[in-house]
């Protein structure tokens, strides 16, 4: 709904009509009874929270003393619902301009601006649904085996130098790098708001 005229000419809701505002979705009266009732007009849309398809792929290469291993992980056919937070758990996920929310200055936005839930029906859940498909560079490892002649000069039997990393890159339309949040966890004590961490390690192995 881009204007007040669009709002007043839209299908009235049985519940939560007092909470709609400009920029909200104009919902379809699916059963054609003249009003929008969640019991009869709600129809499935999108994909389930749990991905219908997951995959992983590992590739490796060897060249002389070098070893390389790369692992990718991905999900398809899934949606993620990023629930609105209250003031006690406020984060800026839902107020980033690049997410495309509808505002007066961005009338072509495709998502309704969420609220802090000042009452029932204050926000349409579709506004927080995102395509959960992703491809993650889960891990990469590089190893160099020092030549035997060099090891003898150093007084060791063997020496290898390595570098590896986890969660180094993510290709997705999700607004941030966390695959789950509180609405998808069974354990209410784990809110799932902590971002996925990237890790890089360097080291060496010695054989005496």
Q: What is the pLDDT of residue 58?
A: 97
In terms of average pLDDT, the best of 95-104, 111-120, 135-144 is 135-144
DSSP 159: E
Contact 170, 137 (CB under 8 A): yes
SS3 56: strand
* Spatial separation of the C-alpha atoms in residues 169 and 137, rounded to whole Å: 5
* Spatial separation of the C-alpha atoms in residues 2 and 21, rounded to whole Å: 9
Q: Measured on CA atoms in the order 27, 29, 30, 35, is the torsion positive or negative? A: positive
Q: Which two tokens stand for residue 25?
A: 């979705």
DSSP 127: G
Is 102 exposed, middle or buried (CB count within 10 Å of its CB: 0-12, 13-18, 19+)?
A: buried
> pTM of the predicted model, to two decimals?
0.68
Judged by average pLDDT, the poorest of 10-19, 107-116, 192-201 is: 107-116
* Spatial separation of the C-alpha atoms in residues 169 and 138, rounded to whole Å: 8
Residue 137 lies in a domain: yes
Q: Which two tokens stand for residue 182?
A: 């509180």
Q: What is the pLDDT of residue 180?
A: 58
Q: How many CB atoms lie within 10 A of CB 128?
A: 22
In terms of average pLDDT, the best of 18-27, 157-166, 177-186 is 157-166
Q: Which two tokens stand for residue 105?
A: 């200055």
Contact 142, 67 (CB under 8 A): yes
Q: What is the pLDDT of residue 66?
A: 96
Q: What is the pLDDT of residue 99?
A: 60
Residue 14 lies in a domain: no
Q: What does pLDDT average to over the chain?
A: 78
* pLDDT above 50 for 187: no
Residue 169 lies in a domain: yes
**pLDDT tens for residues 104-120?**
777 777 667 655 554 44
Calculate Rg over the CA atoms of the chain. 25
Contact 173, 162 (CB under 8 A): no
Q: What is the pLDDT of residue 188?
A: 43
**pLDDT tens for residues 29-87?**
888 888 888 778 888 878 888 899 999 999 999 999 999 999 999 999 998 876 544 44
Residue 7 lies in a domain: no
* Spatial separation of the C-alpha atoms in residues 132 and 47, rounded to whole Å: 9
**pLDDT tens for residues 150-177?**
998 888 999 999 999 999 999 998 877 7
Alpha carbons within 13 angstroms on the beta-carbon side of residue 136 total: 23
- Domain residues for 191? 47-83+128-207
What is the pLDDT averaged over residues 95-104? 61
* pLDDT above 90 for 196: no
Q: What is the pLDDT of residue 18?
A: 77
What is the pLDDT averaged over residues 3-15? 80
Residue 77 lies in a domain: yes
Residue 171 lies in a domain: yes
Q: What is the pLDDT of residue 54?
A: 95
Q: What values do phi and psi take at 44, rounded to 5? A: -60, 145
Residue 112 lies in a domain: no
Q: What is the pLDDT of residue 121?
A: 45
Total structural domains within the chain: 1
Residue 59 lies in a domain: yes
């Amino acid at each position: 709904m881009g204007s007040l005229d669009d709002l007043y000419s839209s299908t009235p809701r049985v519940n939560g009509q007092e909470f709609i505002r400009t920029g909200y979705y104009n919902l379809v009266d699916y059963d054609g009874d003249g009003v929008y009732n969640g019991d009869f007009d709600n129809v499935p849309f999108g994909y389930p929270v749990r991905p219908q398809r997951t995959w992983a792929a590992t590739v490796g290469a060897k060249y002389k003393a070098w070893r390389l291993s790369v692992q990718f992980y991905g999900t398809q056919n899934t949606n993620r619902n990023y629930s609105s937070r209250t003031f006690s758990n406020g984060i800026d996920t839902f107020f980033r301009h690049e997410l495309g929310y509808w505002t007066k200055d961005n009338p072509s936005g495709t998502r309704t601006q969420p609220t802090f839930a000042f009452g029932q029906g204050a926000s349409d859940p579709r506004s927080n649904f995102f395509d959960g498909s992703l491809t993650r560079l889960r891990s990469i490892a590089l190893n160099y085996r020092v030549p035997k002649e060099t090891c003898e000069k150093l007084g060791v039997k063997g020496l290898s130098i390595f570098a590896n990393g986890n969660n180094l890159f993510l290709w997705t339309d999700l607004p941030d790098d966390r695959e789950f949040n509180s609405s998808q966890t069974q354990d209410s004590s784990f809110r799932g708001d902590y971002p996925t961490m990237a890790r890089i390690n360097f080291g060496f192995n010695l054989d005496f």
